Structure 1
Amino acid sequence: MGSPVSDLTGPIDLRARSRRRRNRIVTAVAVLVAVLLAVGLYIVRWSSVMAVDRVVVDGAGLVTADQVREAARVPMGTPLAAVDLGAVGSRVAELAPVDQVRVQRSWPTTVSIRVTERRPVYQVRDQQGFHWVDASGVAFNTTSASRRATPWALTATRDTRLLRDVATVTAHLDPVLLKQLDHLEAGGPDAITLVLSKDRRVMWGSAEESGLKSQVATAMLATKARNYDVSSPRNPTAR
């Protein structure tokens, strides 16, 4: 007898319908996801729902929060995602007392600006007052009175290199020297002098090898003299 022939058209049709149903579901989900992404992108990039309505400032001291906001010029009402954070930071960095700036988005509607201000290494004294100078030689603040516990200097110019060299010298001074320091004088990059108490002077020369010069000058103070020369720290003199 011949083998019975099975009718396979039913199962095949069921599988085909099931596959078409899955395809329709996948297509519908993909369309829904695309729509949601488009709506989300519109809300984030162009809608006023996430527009900037507040600028928060942290770390301001010498400059006020209002001065930072004014310098930042954050476009209020602009979608937060569209704000150019780099441009905002660059504008704030132009404020003299500001050393570093960090600008972030704080969702949904806030721009956060954190500033780190410069720290004075010493002060330059002139007829206008005392100008605070940081380690990089930037003068960033002026006061009528001297800042307590901060060395001051007389400089021939306000050239950045000279101001930076004096900062280097000041930063390397031994506590013993600092305690006896009255002020510094800088006629040029190679003519920096420490003026100590009791009208004593230390010819420092340039800012090169300031660490070694500080050690040598501190040791030489044991020798009674009015003038010390450590401009060549391996061949110092005292008289």
Structure 2
Amino acid sequence: MAGPTTAERGERQQESSGPPLARRLGRLKPPRVRTIIILAVVLVLLGAGTVWVLYGSSWTRVERVSVSGTRVLTPMQVRAAAEVPVGAPLVSVDTDEIETRLRAKLPRIDTVDVVRSWPHGIGLKVVERTPVLIVQKGGNFVEVDDEGVRFATVSRAPKGVPALELRLSRGSAAASLRRFGEDRLVREAVRVAGAIPAAVARQTATVEVRSYDDILLVLSGDRTVAWGSSERGALKARTLTALMKAAPDARHFDVSVPTAPASSGS
């Protein structure tokens, strides 16, 4: 008698291996409705608890405001201008609004970073503007930073900061003023002040603007440097340093054309 065919052997093997996959998957029970409800309630409670902790409890309310980075300003001045709502929920504090308020009320502030310090603090990290020039105005002095921004008026000139003088009333100087405007000429003077070698900067009493391309440095000891325009500042700085070493007794230096410098007087 013949044995089972190949098809019959396949059917027997399938029967011995158990029910088909689809039948086994069908036996898996869906999640119980009660379990779903319990999970939903837990999630709702967690969300409500989080909202209450952030907005309703006393655990995350503003209790202190710290200030760092001040040099001329005092922490008290910064805190007063910031008007941080002490007692308010920390999460609700508008840090962008505080930053805008500080920059508007205290122009001496260049940048400020307002950060939340959980669970009870607000931190104000301040960077103040640094004067590179001062402009005398009556009995006071206006401080000018490296971007040409006139940011503060003080009664006493800060030490080591050159004075800016605009001599623009006649001839080409007046034409330069009409063409470029006073703000542009102030920015050119700022660029020159930023390019002066450190050793020379310490001796610079005045940056005198006569026109756009005629800027003069007045140093201690009645020495002068004809700088010209603010262009090629780095080359002029190197040239001036070498020129002053080569002619230490000279009274007048000219680097307005840095490839053809000159010195005179003794």
Q: TM-score range by the shorter chain?
A: 0.7 to 0.9
| Other structure's SS at 2:123 match | strand
Aligned to 1:164, which of 187, 193, 203?
187
Aligned equivalents of 1:139 and 1:184: distance in 2? 16
* Partner residue in 1 for 2:71: 61
Q: Is the 8 A contact 2:161 2:205 kept in 1?
A: no
Aligned to 1:151, which of 155, 162, 171?
162
Correspondences of 1:1-239 after superposition (within 5 Å) = 19=29, 23-44=33-54, 46-47=55-56, 49=58, 50-94=60-104, 95-155=106-166, 159-178=182-201, 180-221=203-244, 222-223=246-247, 226-238=251-263
Aligned equivalents of 1:32 and 1:198: distance in 2? 81
Q: Is the 8 A contact 2:160 2:202 kept in 1?
A: no
Q: Is the 8 A contact 2:62 2:89 kept in 1?
A: yes
* Cα shift at 1:209: 1.1
My pick for the range that moved more, 31-40 or 48-57, is 48-57
Percent identity of paired positions between Structure 1 and Structure 2: 36
Q: Deviations over 1:27-82 (max 9, x none)?
A: 313321222212312442x4253333432222233222232223222233432212
Aligned equivalents of 1:87 and 1:188: distance in 2? 41
- Root mean square deviation of aligned Cα: 3.1
Distance 1:115 1:178, change over 3 A: closer
Q: Is the 8 A contact 1:52 1:75 kept in 2?
A: yes
Unaligned ranges ≥5, structure 1: 1-15
Distance 1:160 1:52, change over 3 A: farther
| Other structure's SS at 1:203 match | strand
* Cα shift at 1:88: 0.8
Q: May I ask how many residue pairs the two structures share in their alignment?
A: 223
TM-score (norm 2): 0.69
Unaligned ranges ≥5, structure 2: 1-26, 169-180
Q: Rg larger in 1 or in 2?
A: 2
